[in-house]
């Protein structure tokens, strides 16, 4: 299990950048952004993002760490496409930590944040072919919302929208 699951700190932009880029390399079809797009973003972008995800920011970012190494993350925030709902974004766990309940703890942390923030629903998108992730979200209480979209414009990889009433 992770040594700690905690809120991202405002000054931890380098760690956030490095983790996000690892996630994009490990699972290129799991995210709407690509490694090529995000690897060229300036340091100021990452510093702003860390501030946004930290205490007092407009969104909620969790990180899982073991022995000082960041091994997972999840982000919650107002949903970009469904006003009034929360979104679960940027969920990823390092392959070395999969199967150790890190992912479930990250999801539960974001769900707890969304509930405490007063959102009635939390929504995510997951690649349909990622059966392990779909099973995780079902175990956490999410259900298929019936919406299917390509992971990004021009992609043949299809995602499903899943929701949980809070």
Mapped onto helix, strand or coil, the DSSP state of residue 70 is strand
> How far is it, in rounded angstroms, from Cα 90 to Cα 111?
14
> What is the residue-averaged pLDDT of the chain?
95
> How far is it, in rounded angstroms, from Cα 4 to Cα 158?
33
Beta-sheet pairing, 86-93 with 121-127: parallel
Arithmetic mean of pLDDT, 39-58: 96
Are the beta carbons of 136 and 74 closer than 8 angstroms? no
* Cβ neighbours of 159 (radius 10 Å): 22
Band the pLDDT of 114: cuts 50, 70, 90.
very high
For 14, the token pair is: 């380098």
Each residue of 54-75: pLDDT tens digit? Answer: 999 999 999 999 988 999 999 9
> How far is it, in rounded angstroms, from Cα 48 to Cα 1?
29
Cα-flanking dihedrals φ and ψ of residue 100, to 5°?
-110, 20
Q: Using the CB atoms, write b or e for 10-24: b if 16+ within 10 Å.
A: bebbebbbebbebbb
Give me the half-sphere count of Cα atoms (radius 13 Å) on the Cβ side of residue 99.
2
Helices (H), 27-140: 35-38, 43-53, 102-116, 131-139
Beta-sheet pairing, 86-93 with 158-165: unpaired
Give me the half-sphere count of Cα atoms (radius 13 Å) on the Cβ side of residue 31.
21
Model pTM? 0.94
- The yes-or-no verdict on residue 129 having pLDDT over 60 is yes
> How far is it, in rounded angstroms, from Cα 25 to Cα 92?
11
């Amino acid at each position: 299990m992770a040594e700690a699951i905690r809120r991202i700190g405002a000054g931890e932009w380098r760690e956030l950048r490095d983790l996000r880029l690892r996630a994009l390399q490990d699972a290129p079809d799991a995210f709407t952004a690509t490694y090529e797009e995000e690897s060229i973003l300036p340091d100021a972008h990452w510093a702003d993002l860390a501030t946004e995800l930290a205490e007092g920011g407009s969104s909620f970012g969790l990180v899982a760490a073991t022995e000082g190494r960041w091994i997972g993350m999840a982000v919650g925030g107002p949903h970009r496409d469904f006003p009034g709902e929360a979104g679960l974004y940027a969920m990823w766990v390092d392959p070395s930590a999969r199967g150790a309940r890190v992912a479930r703890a990250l999801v539960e942390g974001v769900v707890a944040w969304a509930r405490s923030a007063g959102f009635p629903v939390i929504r995510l998108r997951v690649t349909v072919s990622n059966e392990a992730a779909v099973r995780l979200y079902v175990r956490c209480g999410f259900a298929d919302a019936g919406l299917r979209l390509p992971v990004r414009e021009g992609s043949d990889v299809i995602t499903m929208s899943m929701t949980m009433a809070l």
